[in-house]
Structure 1
């Protein structure tokens, strides 16, 4: 399954994206000692970097410091599947229940616009992120999946979403895009771009520095409080402190139950020849998945590989996040088997890279962003794997919140949302891993019965659906 990684790998070996990012992975300098700034951002992933970028753009006089325990993009930002999509982890009905129908639809529009905003900034800053806005095709490969696909489109129409937002494809249309085995049809949305997240996150870090922001790497934060961030190398005092730590949040004092870190694992194939791509499709580098319950996701890279990932790795007791959890050979083999099941033409194809990383999941599966004006503490996260684009929306929203602006972005329903804490251990370990197993069972049930899974229906409320 490719070259084995050390338990504590070199930064350019963390993922295919890090290895092929095209610039020097040598860490920046650590915090030299105590520091006074206007805004301190904890975490140099997409959330922290987008926040710093838009703040520095809006007010160049701001003194901004970004503090990172490892290097920029070390976490999910440099290890994901490379989907910059309009997906948001909470459904429209859930968002409407938090606010109202117009606000829920405004959130959806903002997510659609964010895909183009990421592309705009990448172009403006000269970041070659290998971006291709080909949309997403979601195949239906059995009767139950086809029923779900049709219901998804009916629900979209009930919310006023037209064919320019989500379309139902028949079997001929679907296979002309992606010739997946057993395809009955598909849904398609144009609102997704395949990207190289490693190139994007490193390029964004350089763009942030060009705007005068200081990034301190290998500077582990030990505590966050109003007006103060403690690190291993000194204390940073700031009027505003933004927590942008996603799957690593439980490592901070007071946040053990804020989100849970759940691992998603990914494989990448060797570059495929042109004749193989003629059989597969994805001519516009569409991202792809299917309507199964246990999530998988794939893309065609700029150098003609397939990057394919999914859930299935266990949640680790106590919300532990460790380098050795980045690899699970059993899950890698299952991903490879799932890829061959979807695209049998890939039989014998070599996997050159395999990696993983933790994503953050809040108890109600709804991402949030906010700023407590009384304490100056801001936050964003809980993206449930939909963070490549949502982080950008978070960064622009935090800009407006920090600068005291009331805008369309600050009125969106996820702003100021607070998810209740996760259950104490071992209840959350039992619940989360039971849910993961149930989704696997649900997919097997549907293959056998060709009916909507009863298991999935029973577990859905526990998973935020």
Structure 2
């Protein structure tokens, strides 16, 4: 980084609050009291992020008489659900290319299920009056290198052959007419498959919807231990116990109460910046009238979008795995990444020179080796889990909630019979092999980005095995 560029990037960060912009909101609801004593219920949901909230809500929608309890170790929406970029995608497979590669025989069904899932989220937001700034503006995959443009063009032709429509190829002029950056060479605009939203307000709205339907929610109530009882399952908490006929685990990046699930995920730290609101002149200098989400096409990619008050969220690039899979609040701040992101922001939008960042934050995402969620049951079908959403859980966690409830009910349907649902990803190896393999993969991906996308022997081997690392 040149000294002048470093100085400009550093100055832009001088007033940034070390907290998620989404969670730094005066409308944030007060936390509910912790559980003290014992409780009994039909269904216990562990985890107060999207996964747990959707599970509790849909459980009551399916059966209003079902007695549902949800516990959250901290506060609803405080972790990945309140720190993400707010991209709510229809894809259940971490993008169509990953789905075609892994489940070619099911991909049309998976895409249809994903479209229905996103429609159902939009319907729920309207039906429950959730003010989460939902905008179904789509997303543009952006090429910033010639080889990326060629790959996007080839993929668009492949999508057409496979019968997938709704995505438009944009050349450089067409893309820059949508969002103007000197780095943009072209892109693919998925016009209906992605919505933008305020992620924390979605979590808080789902919390209120659950309460309105009669779900009992206890915050600051961590599930410590899961065990069989004479009538079902029991979960020990710091100040009491909960006895339930069925349990759904939506803990994702945090260690599962079913220990054999833990090797299937690792935590990856992702980081983001939020600018101050753009003036009318600043917004006009970059266009962006249609407010799409954007993401570039490198292995180390950025995602960026406009907020309701015309700030730019700029995140991604670094995906940091802590040795041993440690999840700690100390890792939520990484100044060297923030500095890098700020410099890259001004490379993308030099016309915004002088703008400052109001917030800088990070947090852990649960990543699995196939990039998309996996599902299962334990304790003879009395416990269900969904995990491994790998940064694309804003939308797909609702599908995961449906799957968990189907599995707990013992249903055989279009969801539970999917190969995606019936199979598991490859688990990560123990340390130090996990850290060594992930670091080698990260460095190889960075090298590919600097070498016209050419993948080395390590990445080619990982590709053949269907393994990967992403955020």
Is the aligned partner of 1:218 residue 2:220?
yes
What does residue range 27-176 of structure 1 map to in structure 2 within 5 Å?
Answer: 27-89=31-93, 95=99, 101=105, 103-162=106-165, 164=166, 166-176=167-177
Matched, 1:368 2:374: yes
1:262 maps to what in 2? 268
Two-structure CA RMSD over aligned residues (Å): 2.3
CA–CA distance in 1 between the matches of 2:22 and 2:206? 15
TM-score, L = length of structure 2: 0.89
Q: Distance in 2 between matches of 1:411 and 1:256?
A: 24
Equivalences, count: 450
SS in structure 2 opposite 1:332?
A: helix
Q: Residue by residue, what CA displacement relative to the aligned partner does 1:350-387 show, whole Å, maximum 9, x if unpaired?
A: 00101111111123333123445823110112011000
Alignment counterpart, residue 23 of structure 1, candidates 25, 28, 52: 28
CA distance 1:457–1:184, change in 2 (3 Å): farther
Structure 1: unaligned runs, 5 residues or longer: 6-12
- Could you tell me which residue of structure 1 aligns to residue 7 of structure 2? none
Report if the CA contact (8 A) 1:178-1:280 is conserved: yes
Indicate how the Cα distance of structure 1 residues 90 and 413 shifts in structure 2: closer, same or farther if over 3 A, else same. farther
Distance 1:250 1:330, change over 3 A: farther
**Contact in 2 for aligned 1:264/1:359 (Cα 8 Å):** yes
Q: Is the 8 A contact 1:89 1:365 kept in 2?
A: yes
The answer (yes or no) to whether the contact 2:249–2:256 under 8 Å persists in 1 is no
1:221–1:168 CA distance, 2 compared to 1 (3 A): same
User: CA offsets, 1:316-346, max 9 Å, x none?
Assistant: 1111000010010011111112221111112
Which of 169, 191, 194 aligns to 1:192? It is: 194
Q: Give the Cα–Cα distance (whole angstroms) in 2 for the partners of residues 145 and 100 of structure 1.
A: 23
In structure 2, distance between residues paired with 1:385 and 1:21: 26
Query: Given the alignment of the two structures, is residue 289 of structure 1 paired with residue 291 of structure 2, yes or no?
Result: no
Distance of aligned partners of 1:290 and 1:359 in 2 relative to their CA distance in 1, 3 Å threshold: same
1:96 and 1:350 map into 2 onto residues whose CA distance is 41
Measure, in 1, the Cα distance between the counterparts of 2:288 and 2:257. 40
Change (3 A) 1:94 1:81: closer
**How big is the shift at 1:302?**
0.3
After superposition, give the CA deviation of every residue in 1:421-450 in whole Å (9 maximum; x if it has no partner): 21000111111122223222222223xxxx
Checking the alignment, whether the CA contact within 8 Å between 1:41 and 1:243 is kept in structure 2 is yes
Q: Give a deviation string over 1:31-85, Cα, whole Å, max 9, x none.
A: 1122211111110000000010001111011111111110001111000001001
Report if aligned partners of 1:223, 1:252 keep a CA contact under 8 Å in 2.
Answer: no
2:432 equivalent to 1:426: yes
Contact 2:374–2:387 (Cα < 8 Å) also in 1: yes
In the superposition, relative to structure 1, how do residues 127 and 21 fare at CA in structure 2: closer, same or farther (>3 Å)? farther
2:376 & 2:213 partners in 1: Cα distance? Answer: 24
* SS, match of residue 369 in structure 2: coil
How much does 1:258 deviate?
A: 2.6
SS in 2 for 1:289: strand
- Equivalence map 1:368-387=2 (5 Å): 368-372=374-378, 374-387=380-393
Q: Is the 8 A contact 1:140 1:291 kept in 2?
A: yes
1:411 matched to which residue of 2? 417
- Measured in 2, the distance between the counterparts of 1:97 and 1:290 equals 20
